[in-house]
Structure 1
Amino acid sequence: MIKKSFIILSFAISTVQIQAQNSFYIANKAPLAPLKYIELPLGAVKPKGWLHTQLAIMNNGTTGHLDEYYPKIMNDNGWLGGKGDAWEETPYWLDGALPLAYLLDDENLKKKVKKYVDWVLDNQRPNGYIGGITKDERAGKTLSDCQQGDDWWPKMVMIKVLQQYYTATNDKRVIRCLTNYFKYQHQNLKTCPLVKWTEWAQARGGDNLMSVYWLYNITGDKFLLELGDTIYQQTTPWTYLLGKRNWVMQAASNQTDEKWMDRHAVNVGMGIKLPAIYYQSKKNPDLLKSLKTGWTDLMTLHGLPHGMYSGDEDLHGNDPTQGIELCSIVETMFSLEQILGITGDLTYADALERMTYNALPTQTTDDYNSRQYFQIANQVQVSRGVFDFSLPFQRGMCNVFGPYAGYTCCTANMHQGWTKFTSHLWYATPDKGLAALLFAPSTIKAKVGNGTEVSIEEETNYPFEDQINFTINTPKSVDFPLEIRIPVWCKEATLLLNGQKLSVEKGGKIARIKRLWANGDKLTLQLPMEVTTSNWAKNSRAIERGPLVYALKIEEEWTKREIKEEGTYYDIQPKSDWNYGLPRAVIQKTIENSSVTIKPKTEAFVWNSVNAPIEIQTIGKKIPSWKIIEGVARQPVTARDGVYLGEVNDKTEKITLIPYGCSKLRIVAFPVVK
């Protein structure tokens, strides 16, 4: 029998009144606004199942070994006191490699990353400055003036690295270092503002602000709140841009150099969190309103079926032939993870899962050693070329897979995507409970209720399957709330407790179970996944099931090539037809005209077309005139009723769709035909 000593409530999280802050973890101190959800220390969440496999692949590949062969990091590194890279790429790599080390408890990788952490902490200047050895210092001068320093921007990334290291180790040197560095900023930003050296620091000041408030929550130093106001005022006015709307509309058509940094997709991905970060200080609901308005406009005007907005490099509209920069995906993911904790708004959780499970995995190779600078939604070949990108790049390398193809920022920055997503699967609640806001196989170990440390095993093959099992492990019975997100795509979810039906929940809500939990209690979440369609640019349609978007399975022919400037790379050509439209019958009666095949679960999971764990079979008709032109499969134009009126083959053919994230060649935005 189910114990009756519990309360279950479902609610839209924005209506919840938070009364207290969790004393076990780093929560907001007054006068900062209380957090809706509180981040857990690095290492509290551990990956399992296919997610563990993904992180292990990264550890065996680039993430675990980039410092052994990438010249910028390997040779005389500036973040170790050398004359080499002292800008963004080494901190970028550490921002993914350090959390990976603690998520996997890999001692070798911990030792690698700690060497950089130690150098930064041990070589802070007397005035608080951190970073590589400056030109003046190499000339024997002491840093006595901020004018002698270097760009603020790469230090913002290194600070994120130090924060994560602190939550994993509790090394007090981090707190001393950041306190002194922020004192240095407080004293010098008026003379040497964020924009002094580059516009990157100005555009990305939200990351600096985030770290200032994080430190305030530990030390309570009042100067940090003043510093926060200064940083906000010197940062690109993302709140204004997001809320006033003209910016995102103009970006759809303006590809000139006018204010291009405000349209740069990575800057946008980082900038969207600024209103939420600053809201903590000012508690002005207009800040969150501007964020929601801007996010909605961004995805309406520039959004693509895989859950990301276009950006090649600028925002570039919603045509499925536009590119997506890998850096913009991982930075947007991190921003949404921060926004979710501050606001509790489930809009951002649904958006985060969609881009993570669709856009992110397709842009790296199986071994995590090569990546694309730009992916394309309707990508029927991968090759060198200019295509429809706003940044064509002189050597035409933006679309191919390679360790260094295109700009190398993504070589260093891609590692934070999966690692930080893993760390944010779970949050603490302000009333000393836990919240599962994102789903993947994992284990959480945390203090709850009266201070008892519990662990919860999350067993699932989500996002491919529809059931998630949470098993409570506790040394004694303990009363605490457990909050479970019900995704917006799910019409009606079912919760079972120890095998018995507990409640039925609508999508887009939080289910909250407050009870005396006993060791071995098992909570099961069933999320029925229906095959549906969604409408995208030029009346195209995408097929979806649960959190996944599905793409046409195309046979691939990989060829390894090399150019002197950027080394080896891969291009991929199609070996099967791709120019299919979806008949109206599929749109009108999607479930009746599709069948789902789920393959047996395997721990040796890789995001590729051969191993795709699920397939959808449906029907299609070929469009003879839909061909590759200038390297691009440009979208056929349809009439107002959504149907393509050009020549279409009479013959109906069976076609197979796989998860978008498992594809390298694909059609995801299909024209509709008769």
Structure 2
Amino acid sequence: MLTRRKFVEVGAAAVAAVALKEKSAFADERRESSLKLAPTAFRALPLGQIRPGGWLRRQLRIQADGLSGHLDEFWPDVGPHSGWLGGSGESWERGPYFVDGLLPLAWQLNDERLKAKAMRFIDWTLNHQAPNGMIGPASNDDWWPRMVMLKVLAQYHDATADPRVLPVLTRYFHYQLAVLPTRPLRDWGKYRWQDEVLVVEWLYECTGDASLLRLANLLEKQGYDWIVGFADFKHTGVTSRAYLDASAIGGNRAEGMETHGVNNGQAIKTAAVRYRLSGDASEHANFKRQIDTLDRFHGMPNGMFSCDEHLAGLDPSHGTELCTVVETLYSLEVALETFGDASIADRIEKIAFNALPGTFDDAMWAHQYDQQANQVLVGLNSKPWTTNGPESNLYGLEPNFGCCTANFHQGWPKFTSSLWMRSPDGGLVASLYAPCEVETTVSDHKISLRVETEYPFKQDVRIVLSPETALSFPLHLRIPAWASAATLRINGQPVPIDAKPETFALIERRWVPGDVVDLHLPMVPSISRWYNHSLALMRGPLVFSRDPGESWVKLRDRGLTADWQVYPKKFWNYALLVDERSAGEVEVVEGAVGVIPFAAISAPVKLRVKASRINAWRSEDGVAAPVPEGPQTSTLPEEMLELIPYGAAKLRITAFPQLRRDKQADEHFSHVKC
């Protein structure tokens, strides 16, 4: 029975959905008559112009020395019999997934061994195009895995300018334009069409072939309309297996596709690719609606949304699939380049510095399918997964399903590729912060710059500029939303920052070799509110967690690696004695950034906060029960609890109840907006 308020909400949503469809039809007409692309706010630098440095290079080296650099040596799905190498083995998405991350990793590390591994897939694809233009194994004709390989070939061309790439892609897209009317998108490709349109737009900018934009419009028409889906969003709670089974029995597979976590992660780039086709500025608002909606109904403290493997609500004991993490990161990186919105960069850093490292073992030889913000045991448990199996949060080779084994490789390398971008005023943009080296050109002059920093663990970023000659150009520095007291020095002299947090500060000057920019981004601990009014502690882009200690127990060997269960050594069920007013006084302990940047044993920064254990909060079948709602009391003594970065804690509590101290604290809490 509808209340008046609900009736108004439902009616408004329906009107919005109809308006979006009408607007989409108008945009289609406009696109057909105006074959050009709207410009992006920024432009990514070609692969290879940004090289990782400092702790980031160590992290990529860890990845290269782990599964990424050796997976093809013992995992058949990307081994020598792969269909994407001309063999009779797996011929669907796993080969393209693997090389989509291996390629940028190899070029950023300038690792000849890894380049050779990537080139086997690239050479086979480029050298075995069918006469009709089709690419990939002949054993299947699914459009979806080819969408991934298209991204690989575009990156490869940017890095090498190999003359084979553009003709192969042109022939493939012409073939697809001809056959799509009779063999339209289906299944995964129907929900992930935006990934192909991104490459179609890239090729159009390379060649100016007008038929490419007709193809982009056709792909959009045949694909699922994510923008309308989020204007009338129906998937507001936990997606149960029974719900999906009932939908499938009734002949409706759309419910499973619309609630699938990876599909939603990839869909976040939809508004960005549509904006380029239409030039409609409202696509930025459509992008924000998607992010805000996922946060509202499924948001997690680590910057992600729940999906194990379908949308799973707000309880932090529910999980998030690793494929969703890396695909969401890539979608956000595309959106940052398109819209130039500094808040997108903040979200990228939150995910990259927390959810991404938090789902791997230290050596990146094992990963999880599903990670949890409140993860108190890793084992063979049937709970809390909505649609996944009991191996979902194991650390291992291919827990639950092997898609993440093939796909995780793109996370760190594509983050690295997005650290710096070009601005339309001829300048450079520091879009994300991490140690790196950049070799590029500005106004046809060579320029190199070096970023020296231990960010996100520390507060200072130094940029050393070395143009080949004195050169005037604008430099845009992102000021994160949390950095309200940022300061800037150039060659040791203070310079006022004329920019608010969550925007870009502009510096226009004549740069000479050896100029040094020092950006100080004060990191003050703060709290955010989550499920059942729980709280999470942050400092800068890092989220902090209770690590209850880890006892790793091998479940089985898996070739060069193994599958692991992990058990806690200490108590995890604490309430924190902190609130919005006192969070800034939480003790911060900084140390050196170790050889393994995200390792619990050598965490480079810690927070120390008063807490007490809550006996009523227990685990059920190896899963932390929902966070007790509201402020909690405890008969146990106060302790000084040490929290470490989320990404370092392989078991963790991240969303805590608040400890009730006195009546005054209770009254303060009742006025907190959650």
Please, what TM-score do these two structures have when normalized by structure 2?
0.89
Q: Does residue 1:620 correspond to 2:614, yes or no? A: no
Q: Does residue 1:209 correspond to 2:209, yes or no? A: no
Q: Does residue 1:51 correspond to 2:56, yes or no? A: yes
The answer for the alignment partner of 2:215 in structure 1 is: 227
566 and 500 in structure 1: CA distance in 2 versus 1, 3 angstrom threshold: closer
The range that moved more, 256-265 or 35-44, is 256-265
Contact 2:579/2:658 (<8 A) preserved: no
The range that moved more, 68-77 or 305-314, is 68-77
> How does 1:164-563 map onto structure 2 within 5 Å?
164-195=155-186, 199-242=187-230, 244-249=231-236, 256-257=243-244, 258=247, 259-393=255-389, 396-448=390-442, 450-504=443-497, 505-562=499-556
Contact 1:497/1:521 (<8 A) preserved: yes
Partners of 2:361 and 2:146 lie apart in 1 by 30
Deviation (angstroms), 1:649: 2.2
129 and 254 in structure 1: CA distance in 2 versus 1, 3 angstrom threshold: same
C-alpha offsets along residues 12-55 of structure 1, whole Å, 9 cap, x if unaligned? Answer: xxxxxxxxxxxxxxxxx972111100011100000001100011
C-alpha offsets along residues 605-624 of structure 1, whole Å, 9 cap, x if unaligned? Answer: 33121011011111101111
The answer for the alignment partner of 1:17 in structure 2 is: none
In structure 1, the gaps of 5 or more residues are: 1-28, 135-148
> How does 1:68-79 map onto structure 2 within 5 Å?
68-79=73-84
C-alpha offsets along residues 618-640 of structure 1, whole Å, 9 cap, x if unaligned? Answer: 110111121111211112432xx
Partners of 1:59 and 1:250 lie apart in 2 by 38
Percent pairwise identity? 40
Q: Does residue 1:109 correspond to 2:102, yes or no? A: no
565 and 634 in structure 1: CA distance in 2 versus 1, 3 angstrom threshold: farther
Which residue identity is paired with 1:82?
A: G
Deviation (angstroms), 1:565: 13
The answer for the alignment partner of 1:643 in structure 2 is: 631
Partners of 1:605 and 1:180 lie apart in 2 by 45
Deviation (angstroms), 1:560: 0.7
The answer for the alignment partner of 1:81 in structure 2 is: 86
1:42 to 47, 56, 61: 47
Partners of 1:353 and 1:506 lie apart in 2 by 18
The range that moved more, 499-508 or 611-620, is 499-508
Contact 2:272/2:283 (<8 A) preserved: yes
Partners of 2:179 and 2:304 lie apart in 1 by 37
Contact 1:264/1:314 (<8 A) preserved: yes
The answer for the alignment partner of 1:157 in structure 2 is: 148
Aligned-partner SS, 2:44: coil
Contact 2:435/2:452 (<8 A) preserved: yes
Contact 1:635/1:671 (<8 A) preserved: no
Partners of 2:300 and 2:564 lie apart in 1 by 25
RMSD (CA atoms): 1.8
The answer for the alignment partner of 2:588 in structure 1 is: 596
Aligned residue pairs total 617
2:568 to 566, 574, 590: 574
C-alpha offsets along residues 523-543 of structure 1, whole Å, 9 cap, x if unaligned? Answer: 111000001111111010011
Aligned-partner SS, 1:591: helix
Please, what TM-score do these two structures have when normalized by structure 1?
0.89
Deviation (angstroms), 1:250: 6.0
In structure 2, the gaps of 5 or more residues are: 1-33, 248-254, 661-674
Contact 2:309/2:388 (<8 A) preserved: no
Aligned-partner SS, 1:285: coil
Aligned-partner SS, 2:640: strand
Partners of 2:400 and 2:383 lie apart in 1 by 14
Which residue identity is paired with 2:90?
A: D
Which residue identity is paired with 1:669?
A: A
C-alpha offsets along residues 83-122 of structure 1, whole Å, 9 cap, x if unaligned? Answer: 1111101110100101111001111111121121111111
Aligned-partner SS, 2:165: helix
Which residue identity is paired with 2:197?
A: L
C-alpha offsets along residues 566-589 of structure 1, whole Å, 9 cap, x if unaligned? Answer: 994111111111111012x55541
Contact 1:311/1:324 (<8 A) preserved: yes
Deviation (angstroms), 1:447: 0.7
Contact 2:366/2:561 (<8 A) preserved: no
Deviation (angstroms), 1:434: 0.8
Contact 1:586/1:619 (<8 A) preserved: no
Contact 2:487/2:519 (<8 A) preserved: yes
Aligned-partner SS, 1:457: strand
Partners of 2:609 and 2:84 lie apart in 1 by 53
292 and 333 in structure 1: CA distance in 2 versus 1, 3 angstrom threshold: same
Structure 1 runs of 4+ off > 4 angstroms? 250-255, 563-567
